[in-house]
Structure 1
Amino acid sequence: MEGLTGAVYRKLHHRFFGGADAYYIPFVTPTVEPKFTDRQLRELAPEVNSGIPVVPQLLSNRSADFIWAAKALGEMGYSEVNLNLGCPAGTVVAKGKGSGFLKDLYGLEKFLYEVFSADIPVPISIKTRLGWSDTAEFEDILKLYRKYPLSELIVHMRLKTDQYKGDARTQVLLNALDEIPFPLGVNGDLVTEADLKQADERFRHPHQLMVGRALMADPALFRKFKGGKPASAEEIRQFSKALYDGYTEAFGSRKNAMMRMKEYWFFQSCLFEENPSAFKRIFKSREEADFSAALDEIMSGGLLRDARFGWKKPL
């Protein structure tokens, strides 16, 4: 998740909860100039991610840009690069990137041919959606992917036009399992430990299960899936404090850090008993004391075994 799962979050989640086999660095957009920006290096520099399993995710529709970036990442010591063909954001698809590239299979085939013909020293995986506006598109998309030696195919089980609405189109991916020769990653509507276990069984123990918002809501989700304990209120309290301090250091501003924490607590509050009054005060607060008081009230309530799907899933 762009913004929320940056270096500060990755380090602290790995230290406090662990359980994730890999963290994806979202939406690194390489440009014509073959050099990462200072802002990008704040996420990509090897020392930033030392000791944490991370995979950089590139957002591009120009093969030359992807190639130099993937080569540079290999030289930096990364062991995999992921091409994002799943992002449905309007500003992304308008440029023909992310899931917008799925509208142009001719252009995508040319891109992949040039990428896989280049001497890139790291394996390349793809995150994709099922198509643009019709699940029938997935057949041709898969035919295209099968031409190339992907290290993994991660499928968000929705179309671009679905955005994040409705339920994931699980059956479409289930029907295609025998046609996927790569290690498979499954993504979409995996919120609870039970969801992960069900997906693991239904999809024949895929290579990975990918989540985004659900890990914001329940940072112990993968730990539980692997047989570990649920998050405790004290863990959440200490984790939240460490995040706040980490964002303060990164942003150089306690106020800006509080704004980022409000975004985080939009999801994290779903692990606690509902408290609409305190929830509203979190987002209306302008002073740190008011923000902290609202958090204390939420955390004094009951901690749930699994997060509620409370982040207003669009219908």
Structure 2
Amino acid sequence: MNHTLLSSPLQGFTDYKFRNAFQKYFGGIDTFYAPYIKLNGKLEIKKSYERDLLPENNTSLELIPQIITNDADEFLFVAKFVQELGYKELNWNLGCPYPMVTKRGMGSGLICDFAKIEQILQKVYDKSDITVSMKMRMGYENSNEILATLPILAQFPLKNIAIHARIGKQLYKGGVDLDAFERCIENTNHKLYYNGDITSVAVFDKMQQRFPSIDHWLIGRGLIADPFLPSMIKNNTQHYPANKIEIFKDFHQTIFEQYEASLSGAHHILLKMTSFWEYFATHFTDPHKTFKKIKKSKSLKAYHLAVQEILNDEKRR
């Protein structure tokens, strides 16, 4: 079976700078989802959202915009905006687990509001011809919530439903619930994509064996922690390239220069890169020691020296 690999969107990480560098140095991802657009009650598009979606900033990859909202007019406003940029699909986020989102009845906090979901989708399909897809969790409080939502979604010709196999209140803690995901397969005719804890080729192979009907797989945190993972899955190998450290070094330098050019001051650059290293470090020989070196860097000079030391140490192993 041919597998389609998609990059699950991560706010603050998978913007166009990261996507372009990832595609250049690693590849393996067929389609990227953009981090969600959130309007906060105003029918205005922030410049940062527009930059992230501009076709000229995404020339080497396939991109699907995403929205997080609980308002049909917001949905229609964003649909019109992305269509004007040339996009034909808009993904609706019912998966974000963070309390600042869920307490406002958005993301995974919306999954239980069947009436609102139906009302929004009905208005969108009545007034727009955009293709709609979904990204969801199993629910917020428990994994049965999605089973009550699926009959509502069955009324609409959604392109697909990508399901992260956790509930919202878990955030990213604990394991994925594969039994609950299997119940979703059994209770919908919509095409499902799988998302959650694909962290290695071995894990992917087990998932593939468990769910043979699934041919679209989303990789989120695992893609940042191990950027080689998608291409390794595609090439059906558990072996890293011999020049792994050199490739990562060039990738890191590229994204550093991109963020250095767009962020204001060393403090913001260090915060940005440290957040990436929280994931990067997990695939180095000594993750704790690696991340500690990055966190101790209080200047750009110290940061570069720490990165150089980390990469040299890893290369000697």
TM-score using structure 1 length: 0.90
Report the 3-state secondary structure (helix = DSSP H, G, I; strand = E; otherwise coil) of the residue aligned with 1:248. Answer: helix
1:291 aligns with 2:300: no
**1:176 CA drift (Å):** 2.8
C-alpha distance in 2, partners of 1:58/1:51? 22
- 1:21-61 per-position Cα deviation (integer Å, ceiling 9, x unaligned): 11111121135554422122121222121231111110111
Give the distance between the partners of 1:5 and 1:133, measured in 2 at CA.
27
Change beyond 3 A, Cα 1:103–1:248:
same
Q: Which residue of 1 aligns with 2:155?
A: 147
Give the structure 2 partner of residue 161 of structure 1. 169
1:281 and 1:290 in contact (8 A); partners too: no
Q: Aligned partners of 1:4, 1:221: CA distance in 2, in Å?
A: 17
1:183 positional shift: 2.2
Q: 1:26-65, aligned counterparts within 5 Å?
A: 26-30=35-39, 33-65=42-74
Q: Please name the residue that 1:308 is paired with.
A: none
Percent of aligned pairs sharing the same letter: 27
Please show how residues 64-103 of structure 1 align to structure 2 within 5 Å.
64-103=73-112
Deviation at 1:280, TM superposition (A): 1.2
8 Å contact kept, 1:223–1:230? no
Instruction: Quickly say closer, same or farther: Cα 1:82–1:207, change in 2 above 3 A.
Output: farther
The CA distance in 1 between the partners of 2:20 and 2:117, in whole Å, is: 34
Q: Which amino acid aligns with 1:268?
A: F
Q: Is the 8 A contact 2:266 2:299 kept in 1?
A: no
Q: Find the aligned partners of 2:275 and 2:41 in 1 and give their Cα distance.
A: 32
Residue type of the alignment partner of 2:214: P
Deviations 1:149-187 (A, max 9, x none): 110100011111222221101111113313222222111
Q: CA RMSD in A?
A: 1.8
Give every structure 1 segment of 4 or more consecutive aligned residues whose post-TM-superposition deviation is greater than 3 Å: 30-35, 252-255, 275-278
Contact 2:284/2:290, CA 8 A, preserved across alignment = no
CA distance in 2, matches of 1:195, 1:300: 29
Letter in 2 for 1:95: R
Corresponding pairs, count = 302
Higher RCO (Cα < 8 Å, 6 or more apart) = 2
Return the alpha-carbon distance in structure 1 between the equivalents of residues 303 and 81 of structure 2: 42
Q: Specify whether residues 293 and 260 from structure 1 end up closer, same or farther in structure 2 by C-alpha distance, changes over 3 A only.
A: same
Q: What amino acid does structure 1 have at the position aligned with 2:263?
A: F
1-side partners of 2:193 and 2:51: how far apart?
Answer: 27
1:258-297 paired onto structure 2 within 5 Å: 258-274=270-286, 276-297=288-309
Quick check: 1:4–1:264 contact (8 Å CA) kept in 2?
A: yes
- Residue matched to 1:181: 189
SS in 1 for 2:65: strand
Partner SS for 1:164: coil
The aligned counterpart of 2:203 is 195
Alpha-carbon distance in 2 for matches of 1:35, 1:108: 22
What is the alpha-carbon distance in structure 2 between the residues aligned to residue 91 and residue 39 of structure 1? Answer: 20
Letter in 2 for 1:27: Y
Conservation of the 8 A alpha-carbon contact between 2:226 and 2:283: yes
Find the aligned partners of 2:240 and 2:11 in 1 and give their Cα distance.
26
Q: Which moved more, 1:198-207 or 1:140-149?
A: 198-207
Q: Is the Cα contact below 8 Å between 1:275 and 1:298 reproduced in 2?
A: no
**Structure 1 residues without counterparts, runs of 5 or longer:** 304-315
Residue number in structure 1 paired with 2:141? 133
CA contact (8 A) 1:30 1:66 kept: no
Letter in 2 for 1:237: K
1:251 pairs with one of 260, 263, 272: 263
Does the 8 A contact of 2:193 with 2:216 survive in 1? yes
The code of the aligned residue for 1:55 comes to: I
Task: Give distance in 1, aligned partners of 2:179 and 2:290.
Answer: 39
